Structure 1
């Protein structure tokens, strides 16, 4: 699946130039010409990177960047500015932009920056995916598909381990059964959330000191499950 870039600038000539070169480099694109439209589109979370002009009608680029980060949308942002002003660059980075370019710029430089940012993001995600996770006495080793509790190695089926790992990666966050189905089973059992409950029950038998009063995997009534750090 091609990565998708949102291009935000109020100058049609710049948008056309960027769109042509970015698509030529193998990315999908979408465009927005003002800050409000940019915020609306970017808020969907469907983009892999946003090219965001600093000076925009409706809402400035810095405000769009700030609003997205407040919404916990961490899509990388490459800020464009016509000003060679250090304050603007620093402000953009402080608000959550990942990089910036000053106009005029080379289309080749833009595509090079896009590739570098996305490569850095993928590497960080890969490292996070493979990092060991420790929650109280439970230690999860993703690369080995192993988990240990109180120093004792546990035995899991592949799906049990993937479910445990996903819950642990999102510790403290309530995850619905549908979310878990999508993440672990890829909708193979769409509509049948009982499989999630069955696997959670199996996990509890292996990691909980008392399955009637679980301290690691909590049921959030009417919502789903949440992994917690036991007190």
Structure 2
């Protein structure tokens, strides 16, 4: 299947079935599970490209399952779904090892964009560790901490700048559309806000913001981060 093999884990049968139908219609091969135990059985028997995992499940919840899988060395990309949109909940999920986080309710198109982004940046060889930092000249971007440093000194970023740089870093070397950047950074209502954040970031990381070396424009698409 073109989209990849997805494991959808959600205790809400209606949503689980809707997600399976929608993803199947958009080129994914989908297997579903109603709780963590069933998900583990599928993981033991089949190979998946990504897991869409609900946080609020009875018994072992999504964050606990994510944490346990990472502790076991399982690096399957995980997109967490939850009805809770608070920043602390999002941070807990990402700290547990999730690759991305989407709050309910969400637009189905946004789910597709996020899955495509996760699959695009996933290591092709799961035995090969992905880089933990990216070099941007005198700057270093820490992917795990979402932190920009110049030498030993942290560089102040606004939350919008940090979110944008994180999304671009995850797809380093590949163009990311304005629409995807807007959706991933909370600017869906005004995609041109992405251009403003790009301009600000260039002033911080480029020797000459007018001739960007690292944060490049991809004509007709959006932007791309090209590290050293």
With the length of structure 1 as denominator, give the TM-score of the two structures. Answer: 0.51
Distance in 2 of aligned mates of 1:69 and 1:44:
18
Structure-1 residue corresponding to 2:199: none
**Superposed displacement of residue 86, structure 1:** 1.3
Match of 1:8 in 2: 9
Deviations 1:47-66 (A, max 9, x none): 10000000112211111101
Distance 2:6 2:82 in 1: 18
How many residues are paired up?
Answer: 128
Name the CA distance, whole Å, in 2 between partners of 1:71 and 1:22. Answer: 28
Secondary structure in 2 matching 1:10: coil
- State the shift of 1:125 in Å: 4.9
**Separation (CA, whole Å) in 1 of partners of 2:43 and 2:92:** 20
CA distance in 1, matches of 2:125, 2:79: 19
Within 2, Cα distance between the matches of 1:113 and 1:15? 18
Provide the rounded CA distance (Å) in 2 between the counterparts of 1:40 and 1:93. 24
RMSD across aligned positions (CA): 2.3
Larger deviation, residues 36-45 vs 95-104: 36-45
69 and 45 in structure 1: CA distance in 2 versus 1, 3 angstrom threshold: farther
- Report the alpha carbon displacement of residue 19 of structure 1 after superposing the two structures with TM: 0.7
Task: Tell me the distance in 2 between the aligned counterparts of 1:31 and 1:109.
Answer: 20
Q: Secondary structure at the match of 2:102?
A: strand
Distance 1:29 1:43 in 2: 16
Query: In the alignment, which residue of structure 2 is the partner of 1:174?
Result: none
Per the normalisation by structure 2, the TM-score is 0.52
Aligned to 2:220: none
Distance in 2 (alpha carbons) for counterparts of 1:125 and 1:114: 18
Q: Is the 8 A contact 1:43 1:73 kept in 2?
A: no
Matches for 1:105-116 after TM superposition, within 5 Å: 105-116=106-117
Question: Per-residue CA shift, 1:116-168, capped at 9, x if unaligned?
Answer: 1101115x659x69x9xxxxxxxxxxxxxxxxxxxxxxxxxxxxxxxxxxxxx
Once residues 48 and 80 of structure 2 are traced to their aligned partners in structure 1, the CA distance between those partners, rounded to angstroms, is 15
Name the CA distance, whole Å, in 2 between partners of 1:17 and 1:45. Answer: 22
Unmatched 5+ residue regions in structure 2? 132-228
Tell me what 1:61 maps to: 62
Say yes or no: does 1:33 pair with 2:34.
yes
Alignment of 1:71-86 (within 5 A): 71-86=72-87
Shift of 1:109: 1.0
User: Distance in 1 between the 2:103 and 2:8 partners?
Assistant: 15
Q: Secondary structure at the match of 1:59?
A: coil
Q: After alignment, is 41-50 or 96-105 more displaced?
A: 41-50
CA distance in 2, matches of 1:82, 1:41: 25
Shift of 1:84: 1.5
- The answer for the alignment partner of 1:95 in structure 2 is 96
Q: Report deviation, 1:45.
A: 5.9
CA distance in 2, matches of 1:35, 1:103: 19
Aligned to 2:22: 21
Structure 1 residue matching 2:122: 3-state secondary structure: helix
